[in-house]
Amino acid sequence: MHFELNDVTKKLPKHLHKFVVKQPYAEYTAQNQAVWRYVMRMNVDYLSKVAHESYIKGLAKTGISIERIPYMDGMNRILKDIGWAAVSVDGFIPPNAFMEFQAYNVLVIASDMRTINHIEYTPAPDIIHEAAGHAPIIANPEYAEYLRRFGEIGSKAISSAKDFEMYEAIRLLSILKENPNSTAKDINEAQEKVEYLQDNMGELSEMAKIRNLHWWTVEYGLIGTLENPKIYGAGLLSSIGESAWCMQDKIKKVPYAIEAADINFDITKPQPQLFVTPDFAHLSLVLEQFANKMAIRKGGLKGVKKLVASKSLGTIELSTGIQISGIFNNAIADENNKLIYFQTVGETALSNRDKELIGHGREVHKNGFGSPIGKLKGINIAIENMSPRDLEAYQIYEGKRTTLQFEGGLKVEGNVITGTRDLRGKILLISFDNCTVTFNEIILFKPEWGVYDMAVGKEVVSAYAGAADMNSFLDRSEVSKTKTHKINYSDKERALYSLYEKVKQMREANAASEEEVTYIFNRLKKEFSTDWLLTLELYELALQSNFSIKEKIKTYLLVLQKNEAYKKLIQNGLNLLKVNNSAIKI
């Protein structure tokens, strides 16, 4: 194993393991640690006033340190007490996989750390966003259950063929924007591709819609009243810029409702509006409303067509309980637009109650599977409801050659070999030899193709992404080939980070000396004249120990503050030190 298993993570299906990476803790620079500390101190100071009450309580419950980037193993030891776990991943992972982790009470935490250039907001998922944004709120039991349930439902949402292309485009753009070594040309090209795809997605898929709901709640959600909302969305909780921005009156606040599923978002721009839920229970209510519209609960012709359009592994369940998992490529409807036949291409597996039927795995149905849906023409009783006497009366029994004429014009003609029933006696399959299946003049199955297994069911009651039995198929999900860029640091940058490390050690050991602070301050002015964060940390040490150098450092900070890029950041830091002058450490 390349990650630690505990009571929660040991339940993860193996196909998710490949997304987990080892947390690169040794790669976090001392400046990264300082960025974490700055953001967390700002957040705790500000969010204690504007975040949902669960946030501050949750920081302690989930083992999030304000002083340093958390170790994943340490977080897990604390998270398991509330029934959750966390794993480290490389940036964005595919939406279905992300949702499935969530369904197993596992937070996926992007292991990279934002650079100082993106201290207020990063376009890429990072450990501040995931650990300090998502983790604290799950300490609230009602919200935690919403998150788990969202993952359970979302992992079954059907994607369109364009969704994965959009995922890859957004992943690349976020990686390029976060890497200081990226060229403007590369970023612009990636940005143009994302914008093009956003404008040409066509009808939103289930996955696109549920991803919208996730964005407007889990990432950018507000809770309370329109007049006095509080923050609970991780995207806002982890951004010192957006957490203040979103509370302004000029930002439109809208009551959260199912219509949010149709509102797209753009990760590269401030959102035009935010949604406010009255409480966490309302989130679950809207989620159930949306789930009731999904193919997993509606089934039917629309559900099968969604799977055909997705061109990805999916499952339908018939009214008898038989489940067919494969890549669907055909859905035939009658003149009343009612499904009468479905078909898969390539390896297909049949299951019942999420367990593969013996003798009906993908190695048996390696060339696809097709079956009629509905009732026989002129017969009121459906095959699935026929008793043994009914089956005999309609010539559907072993050793008999029969012709089944279905409503809608589909015909099955062949020698009945046997039937397959479930434990309750419900007939699931009827197998034929020397069989021909036709629809009008179209031949759908020929005798020379072998045994024809006809699934029994008068309707499709469910359609969803993925396989019914996860063991039926080889793992088809892929880890993106676009990897997060490892930043190449210059000798000068490494020299700066060594100064950050010295300041960190002095602070943690409570062993600062005016001589050492003065030496580092003079080097900063001479060699790293634009670095404001380490100057702020030096000022904190000088202020704490009442060193005479403190006034010179403060004066220098005020000079740096003339640069608009740092003005607000430095002022926020000074305000925090002033507020906590008697006890600087939070």
- Of residues 242 and 351, the one with the higher pLDDT is 351
What average pLDDT score do residues 427-438 get? 96
256 pLDDT higher than 60: yes
- What's this model's pTM, rounded to 2 decimal places? 0.86
User: Domain check: are 315 and 413 in the same one?
Assistant: yes
pLDDT score recorded for residue 485: 64
Distances (CA, A) of 333 to 336, 338, 546: 8, 5, 82
Distances (CA, A) of 444 to 342, 369, 569: 10, 10, 68
What average pLDDT score do residues 5-33 get? 90
Q: What is the pLDDT of residues 172-218, one digit of tens each?
A: 887 888 777 889 999 899 888 988 887 887 889 999 999 999 999 99
Q: Give me the CATH number covering residue 429.
A: 2.30.30.100
Name the 3-class secondary structure at 455: strand
Cα–Cα dist 153/95, whole Å: 12
Cα–Cα dist 52/231, whole Å: 6
Does 471 fall in a domain? Answer: no
The residues pairing with 327 across neighbouring beta strands, listed in sequence order, are 313, 345
The residue among 301, 350, 312 whose CA lies nearest residue 453 is 350
User: Domain check: are 386 and 530 in the same one?
Assistant: no
| Average pLDDT along the chain | 90
User: Domain check: are 118 and 201 in the same one?
Assistant: yes
Cα–Cα dist 408/486, whole Å: 59
Residue carrying the six token digits 């143009």: 192
- Residue 554, number of CB atoms within 10 A of its CB: 17
Cα–Cα dist 330/439, whole Å: 13
pLDDT score recorded for residue 154: 95
Name the 3-class secondary structure at 161: coil
User: Domain check: are 136 and 107 in the same one?
Assistant: yes
User: Domain check: are 331 and 194 in the same one?
Assistant: no
User: Domain check: are 351 and 424 in the same one?
Assistant: yes
Does 139 fall in a domain? Answer: yes
Range of the domain at 103: 9-288
User: Domain check: are 55 and 141 in the same one?
Assistant: yes
Residue carrying the six token digits 């997304």: 19
Check if the beta carbon of residue 247 is closer than 8 Å to that of residue 299: no
The residue among 93, 129, 95 whose CA lies nearest residue 113 is 129
- Of residues 270 and 113, the one with the higher pLDDT is 113
User: Domain check: are 319 and 201 in the same one?
Assistant: no
581 pLDDT higher than 50: no
Q: What is the pLDDT of residues 441-453, one digit of tens each?
A: 899 999 999 999 9
Does 293 fall in a domain? Answer: no
pLDDT band, very low/low/confident/very high, at 491 (cuts 50, 70, 90): very high
User: Domain check: are 19 and 139 in the same one?
Assistant: yes
Check if the beta carbon of residue 52 is closer than 8 Å to that of residue 72: no
586 pLDDT higher than 60: no
User: Domain check: are 237 and 369 in the same one?
Assistant: no
Phi, then psi, of 465 in degrees rounded to 5: -75, 150
pLDDT band, very low/low/confident/very high, at 425 (cuts 50, 70, 90): confident
pLDDT score recorded for residue 583: 38
User: Domain check: are 321 and 400 in the same one?
Assistant: yes
What is the DSSP secondary structure assignment for residue 505, as one 8-state letter?
Answer: H
Q: What is the pLDDT of residues 166-182, one digit of tens each?
A: 888 888 887 888 777 88
Does 294 fall in a domain? Answer: no
What average pLDDT score do residues 449-472 get? 95
pLDDT score recorded for residue 230: 96
Does 482 fall in a domain? Answer: no
pLDDT band, very low/low/confident/very high, at 584 (cuts 50, 70, 90): very low
- Of residues 523 and 244, the one with the higher pLDDT is 523
User: Of the residues 288, 311, 330, which one is the last residue of a structural domain?
Assistant: 288
Does 586 fall in a domain? Answer: no
pLDDT score recorded for residue 264: 87
Q: Give me the CATH number covering residue 83.
A: 1.10.800.10
Does 127 fall in a domain? Answer: yes
What average pLDDT score do residues 361-373 get? 96
pLDDT score recorded for residue 2: 65
The residue among 510, 560, 511 whose CA lies nearest residue 534 is 560
Cα–Cα dist 413/305, whole Å: 27
Does 483 fall in a domain? Answer: no
Phi, then psi, of 97 in degrees rounded to 5: -65, -40
Name the 3-class secondary structure at 317: strand
585 pLDDT higher than 60: no
pLDDT score recorded for residue 62: 81
User: Of the residues 419, 449, 465, which one is the last residue of a structural domain?
Assistant: 465
115-124, 135-144, 355-364, 458-467: least confident range: 115-124
User: Domain check: are 90 and 217 in the same one?
Assistant: yes
Cα–Cα dist 93/15, whole Å: 13
The total number of structural domains that make up the chain: 3
What average pLDDT score do residues 479-496 get? 83
User: Of the residues 288, 320, 340, which one is the last residue of a structural domain?
Assistant: 288
Check if the beta carbon of residue 382 is closer than 8 Å to that of residue 458: yes
pLDDT score recorded for residue 477: 67
Annotate 491-520 with b (16+ C-beta within 10 A) or e (fewer). Answer: eeeeebbebbebbbebbeeeebeeeebbeb
Which residues have C-beta within 8 Å of that of residue 217, sequence separation ≥ 6? 233, 256, 260, 275, 277, 283
Q: What is the pLDDT of residues 129-147, one digit of tens each?
A: 878 888 889 989 999 999 9
481 pLDDT higher than 80: no
